Structure 1
Amino acid sequence: MTVIEGVHADHGATFREVGGRRVVAHYGRPERTHRAVRNVVGVCEFGYGVLVVTGEDRVDYVDNAVSNRVPDTDGEGTYALLLDPQGRVETDMYVYNAGERLLVFTPPQEAAALAEDWQEKTFIQDVDIRLATDEFAVFGVHGPKATEKIASVLHQASSPEPALSFNRGELGDAGVSVIRTDNLAGEESYDVVCGADDAERVFDTLVNRGLNAVPFGYRTWETLTLEAGSPLFETEIDGALPNDLGLRTALDFEKGCYVGQEVVSRVENQGYPGSRLVGLTVDAVPDPGAAVSVGDEHVGEVTRAVESPTVSGPIAMAKLDWDYPDGDLTVSVDGEDVPAERRELPFVDGSAVSARLPTYE
């Protein structure tokens, strides 16, 4: 469940489950909220799973397990993938060096199994992995005025500047860590991390103090990230090959061995992926998994689609064959083939560019 469900309910929230965790779906009028985030700033409670990794070998251990370099400097972080032996994504994660410990943020449904798996594989290394999801709250702050918002309420620290770096400070009388994130909504973005006991006060400060911010839920998050061209774990990333996702920000091909690296490197060296993520505009919103065709030939499928408040019409992200034939694209909607047009990602140019924007060479 959310850390402050009663507070969200007081704001008129309706709820849904994401990865087995109860989160805010929306607060009513999500299209209007979407525009408020695009124009100013909004706040969303995210339902991450959290691992705490301690011990002298903590950095080396996690670095050897994942696809990107784990920083050894306090206050720095990275976005990384855990890959299976075939090079497909088992989970994605953010890893932050917090001095004497690493904080690992995962999709909520992946945290418990990851903690158990890593703890079983420590062998003689000085590493301890602990599931700590219930100890933290994480609030995303997104919008062209996000930096101004953070500056208006953060004390004892300045807003962090490099992506995935963080500073420690105070919001009101609550200690927080403020992370400059990777702009998945296509806007300036921060995550504010606090202890669960401080969550209500931190949320109130973010929404009502300094520059006001609109609270928003996962429905708005999904429309924002799709407009920004950001693949998400549940809909695009889970089980995929990183090269097919164009997810270069999560990979360091020069680092040491990790599970699946040889497979990923071999795919990279073939010169092109087997498929690619593209944007589509459609006359009606298709379901996830809807077939995309050229004539009678199946060339891919929709990963997700929304009615975009900014584009003012249905948009979709789709996984298409890399070398699909020329011709008019169609998408299956309610058993009918509906015309679709390929669009370059992102659909919307905001105040920042998503670090997950698919990039192919």
Structure 2
Amino acid sequence: MSVIEGVHEDHGATFRSVEGRRVVADYGRPERTHRAVRNVAGVIELGYDIRAVTGPDRIAAVERATTADVPRSDGEGCYGFVLDDGAIVADAHVYNGGDRLLALLAPGRGDWFDRALPNSGVESTDLTGELAVFGVHGSQATEKVASVLSTGGGAPEPAHTFVRGSMGDEGVTVIASDAPTGEAGYEVVCGVDDAERVFDTLVNRGLNAAPFGYRTWESLTLEAGTPLLETELDGNAPPVLTRHGDEGGRQLVGLAPDAVPDPGATVSGDRAPIGTVTRALESPTLGKPIAFAVVAGEPTAIETDDGGRIEAGKVSLPFVEGSQRSGRCPEA
């Protein structure tokens, strides 16, 4: 559940459920908001499951539980996956906070992380109900954060590093993201009691930023070539993100279809099925259809429910070149 649902409602939000978590779908006109984020900056409340891992063996334990190489220095972080029998079941952003590690996981996936941790030497504490996380993304996101953050050192860099500071009277931790929207990006972590004031600061103070929801998040990340857990990663092995693919030759690719296909539609190549569409939409930036698909072979078309075919060739990623390249965009 959103920690500031009433505030979102005042902005005209509609909601949806992601893994049982109530999140903002959009505030109306998601395509217009998409362009506002690309051109300036936007703010989204992210529905993470949040864990704090403590204990003398915390770094080794999290490295055993995930594919991440956890930094040894306070103020640094990393990104990796929780696997079950070789398949991705959660993605994890892990940050070294000195005496604890903070893990941000996709909604509803914290339990997978807990089960993957060793039974001794560490303790995982659920902070989902105690902390709020806001994403700030856009071509001017750095200027936006710098205009409201008091740290003495400006916005953090490079990706996966963080600084502690304040926005107004509220204490915050600001993390440099790996540019999942193809633009500069940050995540602002604060206590739930401060969340309403921090959100107001991010939207209305300093450089203005447009609030946006998960529909715009999905269109921005698709344009940037960033796979999401729910659509591209869940159940697949990490090698699908490489140019060589997994053991079956399956890899995540970008398609340029003649029309927007349905998620789950069959992708064909040389008259035989070779994979499945994971996500597709009419790109607000390009004004034409784009799609992600997991395939084993060279795609040529997408099958439709009525027996028709949509011509769809493979294209290089990202679909849209923003101010930064997403750190999660699959290899060419």
**Same structural fold, with TM-score higher than 0.5 when normalized by the shorter chain:** yes
Task: Say whether the 8 Å CA contact 2:137–2:181 is kept in structure 1.
Answer: yes
1:147 to 142, 155, 159: 142
Deviations 1:203-245 (A, max 9, x none): 0000000000000000000000000001110111111111112
1:297 matches 2:292: no
Q: Residue in 2 aligned with 1:251?
A: none
Gaps of 5+ in 1: 248-266
Contact 1:136 1:194 in 2 (8 A): yes
**Greater Cα shift, 17-26 or 52-61:** 52-61
Helix, strand or coil at the partner of 1:152: helix
More off after superposition, 290-299 vs 28-37: 290-299
Q: Which of the numbers 283, 300, 304 marks the counterpart of 1:333? A: 304
Q: Is 1:183 the equivalent of 2:183? A: no
Secondary structure at the aligned position of 1:133 is classed as coil
**Matched ranges for 1:190-339 at <5 A:** 190-246=186-242, 274-321=249-296, 323-324=297-298, 329-335=300-306, 336-339=308-311
8 Å Cα contact 2:71-2:78 kept in structure 1: yes
Counterpart of 2:54?
A: 54
Offset at 1:91?
A: 1.4
Identity rate, percent? 56
Q: What is aligned with 1:42?
A: 42
3-state SS of paired residue (1:105): strand
Q: CA deviation at 1:246?
A: 2.2
Q: CA shift at 1:37, angstroms? A: 0.5
Quick one: distance in 1 between partners of 2:169 and 2:54?
27
Structure 1 equivalent of residue 70 of structure 2? 70
CA contact (8 A) 1:285 1:333 kept: no
**Cα distance, 1:273–1:146 mapped onto 2, change above 3 Å:** farther
Compare 351-360 and 191-200 and name the one that shifted more: 351-360
Displacement of 1:106 after TM fit? Answer: 0.6
Query: Is the 1:330–1:338 Cα contact (8 Å) retained in structure 2?
Result: yes
How many Å separate the matches in 2 of 1:232 and 1:113? 17
Q: TM-score, normalised by structure 1?
A: 0.88
User: CA–CA distance in 2 between the matches of 1:6 and 1:141?
Assistant: 20
1:14–1:24 CA contact under 8 A, matched in 2: yes
What SS does structure 1 have at the residue aligned with 2:254? Answer: strand
Residue in 1 that maps onto 2:104: 105
Equivalent residue number for residue 353 of structure 1: 325
Is the Cα–Cα contact under 8 Å of residues 281 and 290 in structure 2 kept in the other structure?
yes
CA distance in 2, matches of 1:332, 1:184: 29
What is the aligned residue count? 330
Deviation at 1:273, TM superposition (A): 6.5
The one-letter amino acid of 1:95's match is: V
Matched, 1:169 2:144: no
Q: Which residue of structure 1 lines up, in the alignment, with residue 119 of structure 2?
A: 122
Q: Once the 2 structures are TM-superposed, how far is the Cα of residue 112 of structure 1 from its aligned partner?
A: 3.1
Distance in 2 (CA, whole Å) between partners of 1:131 and 1:332 is 44
Task: Give the whole-Å Cα distance in 2 for the aligned partners of 1:359 and 1:118.
Answer: 28
Matched letter for residue 187 of structure 1:
E
The TM-score normalised by the length of structure 2 is 0.95
Work out whether 1:90 is the aligned partner of 2:124. no
Alpha-carbon offset, residue 13 of structure 1: 0.3
CA distance in structure 2 between the aligned counterparts of 1:333 and 1:187, rounded to whole angstroms? 33
Q: Distance in 2 between matches of 1:139 and 1:294?
A: 41
Inter-CA distance 60–156: structure 2 relative to 1 (3 Å threshold): same
Q: Deviations over 1:16-56 (max 9, x none)?
A: 01121000000001111000001111000000000111112
Say which SS state the counterpart of residue 222 (structure 1) adopts.
helix
Contact in 2 for aligned 1:305/1:317 (Cα 8 Å): yes
Higher helix share: 1
Q: Secondary structure at the match of 1:177?
A: strand
Q: Could you say what secondary structure the match of 2:129 adopts?
A: helix
Aligned letter for 1:45?
E
Aligned partners of 1:113, 1:17: CA distance in 2, in Å?
Answer: 19
CA shift for structure 1 position 300: 1.3
Spell out, residue by residue over 1:251-289, the C-alpha distance to the aligned partner (whole angstroms, 9 max, x if none): xxxxxxxxxxxxxxxx98x9x871121111223221111
Distance, in Å, in 2 between the alignment partners of 1:30 and 1:108 is 22
AA in 1 matched with 2:236:
A
In structure 2, list runs of 5 or more residues that go unmatched.
Answer: none
Q: Where does residue 13 of structure 1 map in the other structure?
A: 13
Q: Give the secondary-structure state (helix, strand or coil) at the position aligned to 1:149.
A: helix
Larger CA deviation: 141-150 vs 55-64: 55-64
d(CA) in 1 for partners of 2:229, 2:250: 17
Residue 131 of structure 2 is aligned to residue 156 of structure 1: no
Report if the CA contact (8 A) 1:243-1:273 is conserved.
no
Secondary structure of the 1:346 match is coil
* Shift of residue 63, structure 1, vs aligned partner: 1.8
Q: For residue 342 of structure 1, what is the aligned residue in structure 2?
A: 314
